Amino acid sequence: MYPRLATRAEATVFTMVLTRGPVTRVEIARRSGLSSAAVTKAARPFIEAGYLEELQATERTTPGAGRPASPLTIRAQREFFTGVKITDDELIGVVTDLRAQPLVSARHPLDTMSPEGVLAALADLVAELLAADPAYRERCHWLGLAVSGDVDQVHGMVRYSPFLGWRQVPLARLAAEATGLNVTVENDVKSLTVAEQWFGEGVGASSFALVTVGTGIGCGLVVNDRVVPGWNGVAGEIGHIPVGGDEPECHCGGRGCVEAIAGAAPIVAAVRAATGDASLSIDAAIDVAHAGNTAAREVFARAGHAIGLGMAAMANLVGPERIIVTGDVQGLAAYDLFEEQINRSFTSQAFGAAADCRLLLRPRSFEQWARGAAAVAIQTHFSLQER
């Protein structure tokens, strides 16, 4: 078992090595404000337990710089974590190391969205993933689950997931009973945000936003190095910023929301109406627009306008250093149809220096969303428990 984080110094040192290592004690002290002695004391139990190790000392090149430094690094395969992204028709799972690097992945189709059916499929998927290597079963004790919708991470409750049709499902408890693992449950966008914060494009940025484009329009926020959970678990819902006046009606009960214009279902409905082809799927709608159909392209341009306005409103309120734009498969396949209008609307609506925020397009597969669920499990496992 790993040494429980007992002090803020231990949490600071371990997290810094995990997310930024290899890093020397001197650099940790400089970045954290801890004394060198405090850094050494905090690192010792993790070295003894095999979670951290010292690399070979690097030679100093500056005269009088002191002894060569021995960087600390994570022993990434000291422990493993399982992450699963739950969609309305499929489970996507990964096993990762301590740095949330996927080592093995698997998918399991769903023939039902009932919690009971999903949990049965989840137990099968987790068993398949952990059977890939005896070390996984031996050293994997945590499962992270990523679900769209309103999620209460503290209590492991899915309060409302419109795409799954779930309300008040105690998913963490049920999944723990089904798999025998410790379980964390988080909103899928927030999970991906944690992965970017600790292991991706957000490393080194004290403030950034992650915007997802696809079935819905989501947003995760990091401000002053902390993911913004929001009161009662709701924050960053730019998909429900009203940008379209009184129309169209949104599934949330509001009107004119970004998601009611730029979500996959509204886009399909609008392209069907514009082309007169009621059989179009989202993939076919994208193909029609790519083929040059003017009416279809206008639908996607309107969607891009709505997304850009929502992003600008968020940037004006929060002032992120960068915005990472990603999405599901359909969202990214259509991104070139959105991109020009997103950038134009964002730039025109963002106030002052907010318009200088960097927009980064970073494709992320569903396996990466599952990795986000594992990253939340890692963060939960190694976060300092307040006393």
Show me where the domains of the chain are located. Answer: 8-74, 79-193+368-382, 204-361
Tokens 């992650």 map to which residue? Answer: 210
Rounded to whole angstroms, how far apart are CA atoms 42 and 223?
26
Indicate if the pLDDT at residue 133 is higher than 50. Answer: yes
User: 283: which 2 tokens?
Assistant: 């993939």
User: Per-residue confidence at 59, pLDDT binned at 50, 70, 90?
Assistant: low
Alpha-carbon torsion (232, 236, 239, 243), positive or negative: positive
Poorest-confidence range of 17-21, 91-95, 137-141? 17-21
Average pLDDT over residues 139-152: 94
Dig out the tokens for 376 from the structure.
């939340």
- Whole-number pLDDT of residue 385: 47
Give the lowest-confidence range in 51-55, 62-66, 312-316, 344-348.
62-66
Residue 190 pLDDT class (50, 70, 90 cuts) = very high
Q: What is the pLDDT of residue 223?
A: 94
- Per DSSP bridges, beta strands 90-96 and 80-86 are antiparallel
pLDDT at 214: 85
How far apart are alpha carbons 317 and 18 in whole angstroms?
31
> Is the pLDDT confidence value at 38 over 90?
yes
Q: Mapping DSSP to helix (H, G, I), strand (E, B) and coil, where does residue 182 land?
A: strand
Q: Which CATH superfamily is domain 204-361 in?
A: ATPase, nucleotide binding domain (3.30.420.40)
**Is 352 a residue whose pLDDT tops 50?**
yes
Percent of the chain at pLDDT > 90 equals 69
Say what the pLDDT of residue 162 is: 84
At 144, phi and psi to the nearest 5?
A: -105, 135
The strand pairing partners of 183, in sequence order, are 143
Q: What per-residue confidence (pLDDT) applies to 291? A: 95
Q: State mean pLDDT over 73-86.
A: 96
Mutual angle of helices 294-318 and 264-275, in 10-degree steps: 150
Angle at which helices 25-32 and 36-48 cross, to 10°: 120
Contact 278, 296 (CB under 8 A): no
Q: What is the pLDDT of residue 335?
A: 85
Residue type, 214: G
Task: For 26-74, give the DSSP string.
Answer: HHHHHHH---HHHHHHHHHHHHHTTSEEEPPPBPP-STT--SPB--EEE
Q: Does residue 205 register a pLDDT over 70?
A: yes
Angle separating helix axes 8-20 and 36-48, nearest 10 degrees:
70
Joined together, the tokens standing for residue 82 give 């399982």
Hey, do 8-74 and 79-193+368-382 end up sharing a CATH topology, with the first three levels equal? no
Element (H, E) at 26: helix 25-32
The highest-level CATH class for domain 8-74 is: mainly alpha
pLDDT, the chain, mean: 90
| CATH of range 79-193+368-382; options 3.30.499.10, 3.20.20.70, 3.30.420.40, 3.90.320.10 | 3.30.420.40
